[in-house]
Structure 1
Amino acid sequence: MAYVPGTALLAALVVGCSASTGTGGSAPDSKPGEATVAAAAPGKYRTLPDPCRAVVPSTLKELLPGAAELPEDQQKKVFEGTATVTYDTDRRVGCRWKSEAPVSSHTLFIDFERVVSYDPSVSDDDRAREVYTKKQTAAGLTSDSATPSSTKDAEKQTLPASDSTSDSASDSASHALSGPASEDKNTDGNADEPAGESSDENGGEGSEGSDTDGGTDGSAGSAGSADESLLPRTLDDLGDGAFLDDLLTRAGSAAQNRTVSVVFRTSNVIVTVEYTEQPSVSTVVPDSKELQDKAQSLARKLVDKFSE
């Protein structure tokens, strides 16, 4: 038998192993023709700002008439606001302020929701866009150019009083947004709870047993005089998508109250601003344009805050 030196034998074994495994071959766990799918990009925002500090005192004084005239200790309490109870401050936070004045009371509520996608093929931004679209649809706005049908509003104004009241109550339910009543619910992919369904539930609760005066016509006063520029509508110059809702209601014999809501999306965060006025006298109708202007102004300031 021929003698093979130890070094030569070792070299032969190494060559044999290399030939059998092949450094250029597929990995043991990979499958032929299988492509690796890259994970979708995460959202821009990983945390949320403190909502009770998101509105500067000068803006709060403008939005909460009468608060600045209170004694210093009461004024401080009003401007501090009340934080929403939440289970995950990195995902959802909110704050509420309220002021009382001789002629009317005002309530301001803001809500920040950070949407996270748990599907690696769907980005946080895309998931946030889905959640935002459901909120927009729940408000009766189905396209960037649409307002809730003004034709229907016009028809409603010509109906007998009983029919008009019924239609108005229905509109109130469909246009109410997920806000204070749903602030503890997650509407993103984690809970898989459609935002539209949550909004419908809240709208139903808010309008039950109430007489809706003017519904969603956005008018500043009597029926039949609606200003189309004040109707609920999408907003083109606010964040990555925005819409405005305007709801005038009356509960029993109490004064009418108007709530203007501005909802916008910036990347993977959805912001809701709700601004409500209730006059002390039942015959006074809150001015729609004034409330809308102030709510939109605050929403723009919040967009800038998220851009810092």
Structure 2
Amino acid sequence: MQRKAYVSGVVALLAALLAGCTGSSDDGGDTDNANPGDTGTASAAAQPGKYRTLPEPCGAVGQDTLDSLLPGIQQIADQEQRDKAYAGEATPTFDTDRKVGCRWTVESTDATDHLLVDFERVVSYDNSVSDDTEAQQLFATKEEAADLPEPATSSPSTSASNSPSTSASPGTSTGTSTDESPSGDPSDSAGPSDSAAPSGSGSPSSSISATPSTLQPRILEGLGDDAFLDDALSGSGSTAQQRTVTVAFRTSNVIVTIAYEEQPMTVGVTPNSTPDSKEMQDKARKLAAQLAETLTS
């Protein structure tokens, strides 16, 4: 009887040890080998971007637009040379699915004009970051590098002096004179945002005011998800000054950059000086709006 009791005790001890080992293995399995089907432990992958391909850049700009931006193109007498000018030149790239561009350079009797159109499709290699978020961060870096000035604001004293009711009616509040001009001129209250000016066509380029304050480098509204415009002069003294108008915008995970440059043939002539630089800005913004429509269509 004592031997049976001893054997039974050993069997019970072995059973307990086996149960403990089994429990330890199950606990470790939950920690070391996460079940991919368990939504509580698996992280959801970020959404891919809207765009998987890019347009052909040299074919993205129509002839009418090129005639407007590059006036010298119609002055080319030789038809073969003119066709070559219209065709543009593709910029070097290592991956046409990620980055493409096209460049045009045309001389006229008054100036040399350059146009560059660049498309970049952003792809995130971090599963926790979406393509759109990666593109947004990249565009923010691009915008910061442009070093845009602070938006210009209208002076309350200027607005008050333009209001005929400021001194005539003591009971009238002068606070509203800074928000709306009694003359009805939208440029008096548009501020830095171009979208404040009315536009019958809805095109961003048609709503730019002719005042210098609205022609400074700035954030653009109503163009893609994010957009800005830069305007800079370079060269002085013995060289002709070159104006470069840059319009960049982001639509989902694609960033589009337009660089429009003009350099006069005559030394000392400034191309499209303010407020006449509106013409170059209008043309660049009109092209940007066309390219944005091409991407969304």
Q: TM-score, normalised by structure 1?
A: 0.63
User: For 2:39 and 2:59, how far apart are their aligned partners in 1?
Assistant: 54
**Is 2:73 the partner of 1:88?**
no
1:1-308 to structure 2, matched below 5 A, reads 29-30=33-34, 35-70=41-76, 71-141=78-148, 146-147=150-151, 227-250=212-235, 253-287=238-272, 288-308=277-297
Query: Conserved in 2, the CA contact under 8 Å of 1:148 and 1:232?
Result: no
Match of 1:154 in 2: none
**Unmatched tracts of structure 2, length 5 or more:** 1-22, 155-209
Cα-to-partner distance string for 1:176-232 (whole Å, 9 max, x where unaligned): xxxxxxxxxxxxxxxxxxxxxxxxxxxxxxxxxxxxxxxxxxxx9xxxxx8111100
Closer, same or farther: CA 284–33 of 1 in aligned 2, 3 Å: closer
Offset at 1:281?
Answer: 1.2
- Spell out structure 1 runs of 4+ moving beyond 6 A: 25-28
The whole-number CA distance in structure 2 between the counterparts of 1:149 and 1:270 is: 29
Partner secondary structure for residue 71 of structure 2: coil
Q: Which residue is equivalent to 2:171?
A: none
Q: Summarize deviations over 1:129-170 as a string: whole Å, max 9, x none.
A: 00000011111138xxx44999xxxxxxxxxxxxxxxxxxxx
Shift of residue 243 of structure 1?
A: 0.2
**1:102 & 1:28 partners in 2: Cα distance?**
74
Structure 1 unmatched ranges of 5 or more: 1-19, 151-219, 221-225
Deviations 1:5-41 (A, max 9, x none): xxxxxxxxxxxxxxx999xx96982279962111000
- How far did 1:282 drift? 1.7
Quote how far apart the aligned CAs of 1:252 are: 5.5
Alignment CA distance shift 1:34-1:259 (3 Å): same
CA contact (8 A) 1:140 1:147 kept: no
Instruction: Kindly name which structure, 1 or 2, has the bigger radius of gyration based on alpha carbons.
Output: 2
**What is the number of equivalent residue pairs in this alignment?**
210
Q: Equivalents in 1 of 2:74, 2:93: separation in Å? A: 29
Q: How has the CA–CA distance of structure 1 residues 26 and 58 changed in structure 2, closer, same or farther, with 3 Å as cutoff?
A: same
State the Cα distance separating 1:284 from its structure 2 match.
1.7
* RMSD between superposed Cα atoms in Å: 2.8
Q: 1:78 and 1:137 mapped to 2: Cα distance?
A: 34
Q: Give the aligned residue type for 2:261.
A: T
Counterpart CA distance in 2 for 1:41 and 1:240 is 17
Amino acid at match of 2:43: V
> Alignment partner of 1:246: what SS?
strand
Per the TM alignment, residue 289 of structure 1 is displaced from its structure 2 partner at its CA by 0.9
